[in-house]
Amino acid sequence: MYVSDLALDDFRSYRHLVVGLEPGISAFIGPNGQGKTNLVEAIAYLSTLSSHRVGADRALVRRADDGEQPGGAVVRAKVVHGERPSVIEIEIIAGRANRARLNRGACRPRDLTGILRTVVFAPEDLALVRDEPGVRRRFLDDLAVMLRPALAGTRLEHDKILAQRASLLRSARAHRGRGSSSMESMMSTLEVWDAQLAAAASRLIVARIEVVRRLRPWVESCYEAVSGNQSEARLAYRSSLLAHEGAIEPEPGTGWDAVATAESGLADAQAVAARLEVAMGGLHEREIERGANLVGAHRDDLSLFLGSLPAKGFASHGEQWSLALALRLASYEMLRHDVDAYGGDGEPVLILDDVFASLDDRRRQALASMVVGAQQVLVTAAVDADVPDGLAGARFRVAGSEVTRD
């Protein structure tokens, strides 16, 4: 698939932009702060309905210099799958629910999920190795939704139930000692939320396990390519449910067969839901004391290893870059080989946002050689010299949020 046309209104620094694109490699060149990243961020937003740079959509609406603040931003693109184009549009409305259109007809925003697949590699991706588990959970969930777009609804449902159950736990903590009738009512309601959260969380966990299983061989081969065979990259799903049940945490020393066995025990949604419900029931007292949900998909993690050591805390800066890059390239390869999607045309648009300047020459050349044959690659760079010679293609100049083609 590829994006053939992009239009922006009041998105980030762009008052209005229309730009035509084509398959192959397109590089957007310009000094920092001129709008390159904003442009590719808009394309990625249509894919995941979230920004890879900020958590709040409000920041995506252009801030007017004249004091007249736009009410929202519009991102519109024509996406081509084989010979079949789709026009997708999202209206980002500050302080309100977003609106969406598919082929000019109104739809729910989540109905756009899966129409455009993107994989973004940006300097912020070091967070995949360095930062807290939430970053890696989002990484897995984004990929799971691209593989199974119906999971977008499950993800929203899970987060809503999680927040409502946490609110009930805090209320129960506040009402302790105020009378047995109110607590009995709250505990009865809590059991209902247990079942609902367990059902939604189990579907997410099973989807993540599928992603990890499919991603694993690609991470190993991509890390080998970008690192020059320096060490072996491994990944494992770290489950709060398994930890609660007393299972051994995934570590290289325990043997990868044990890791695979543990993950296979999380592959049946109905069974996982039943186990989660039991775990939640046994944690009610502790959860009320802390006012927090203590077991489930929201407390899981993706463990990353280089050789026999955890990447977080032990990997060098260069190794962290290589591993982050391998995770994104592996995502691209996994989606590209998802041959059942879109009649065999599920290859994602690959976005390389200001990454070449941060890589040494060996990693630059390795990355360039791996992506040169992709159906569509969008590159941003401050200067032409940052783009490897092997990535010949269209060149666009970006200055003051104006885009012109060479």
How far is residue 359 from each of residues 326, 331, 334, measured CA to CA in Å?
13, 19, 23
How far is residue 326 from each of residues 121, 330, 366, measured CA to CA in Å?
10, 6, 11
Tell me how far apart the alpha carbons of residues 53 and 182 are, in angstroms, rounded to a whole number: 44
What is the dihedral angle through the alpha carbons of 129, 131, 134, 137, rounded to the nearest 10 degrees?
0
31 is in an annotated binding site: yes
Q: How far is CA 184 from the centre of its chain?
A: 40
Amino acid symbol at 326: A
Phi first, then psi, for residue 169 (nearest 5°) are -60, -40
254 is in an annotated binding site: no
20 is in an annotated binding site: no
What residues form DSSP beta bridges with 11?
Answer: 14, 61
Tell me how far apart the alpha carbons of residues 260 and 239 are, in angstroms, rounded to a whole number: 13
Beta strand 24-29 pairing with 72-81: unpaired
Q: Decide: 41 and 12 in contact? Cβ < 8 Å.
A: yes
CB environment 170-207: b (16+ within 10 A), e (fewer): eebeeeeeeeeeeeeebeeebeebbebbbbbbbbbbbb
123 is in an annotated binding site: no
229 is in an annotated binding site: no
78 is in an annotated binding site: no
Q: Decide: 46 and 90 in contact? Cβ < 8 Å.
A: yes
Beta strand 233-238 pairing with 301-306: antiparallel
Binding residues: 30-37
Residues belonging to the binding site for ATP are 30-37
